[in-house]
Amino acid sequence: MENNSEDEEERREERQMDGGRRQKGRGFENADIIDDEVKHSRNDRYETLRDSEGERGQPQKSIEGWVVLVTGVHEEAQEEDVHENFGDFGEISNLHLNLDRRTGFVKGYCLIEYKEKEEAKSAIENMDGKLMLDQEVRVDWAFVNAPEKKSRRSIRR
């Protein structure tokens, strides 16, 4: 007990030396330790997921492959229709056709994943602007590296 009261007395003296800052309430008994941990965590750096082949403004590989976003998909399209049109450019490793829960129809977009970049690029080049079920579809990369940030100072008014 005596050791505990001595520690409390030392803390009070330190607080008075800090300018008399005294904090009341729950959770402040170890405030000095917590402050040090917070200061340390603010200075930590995060790892980046930059790919060596990923340049700014260029397509970015997902974890399992290259993902293509198809918009303008007809609301009554089926997975077979999309597979039939896009399967010619390479092996489709994953196909996601979102449905509206209320109506049961397709929401109008589709995500297609290819293993190889060349397959996905071929699908984009050949299917962008083409008709699928009498409706024009737009095809582009789903993930793209952010473009270079331009300095606001370089813009003249």
Could you read off the pLDDT of 85-124 as tens digits, one per residue? 999 999 999 999 999 999 999 999 999 999 999 999 999 9
Q: Hey, what CATH topology would domain 66-141 get?
A: Alpha-Beta Plaits (3.30.70)
Q: Which residue has the higher pLDDT, 53 or 69?
A: 69
Question: Domain residues of the chain, as ranges?
Answer: 2-42, 66-141
The span from the CA of 121 to the CA of 97, in Å, is: 20
Closest CA to 68 of 130, 147, 143, 135: 143
Instruction: Please tell me the least confidently modeled range out of 4-13, 26-35, 71-80, 110-119.
Output: 26-35
Residue owning tokens 């940030």 = 149
| Entry pTM | 0.60
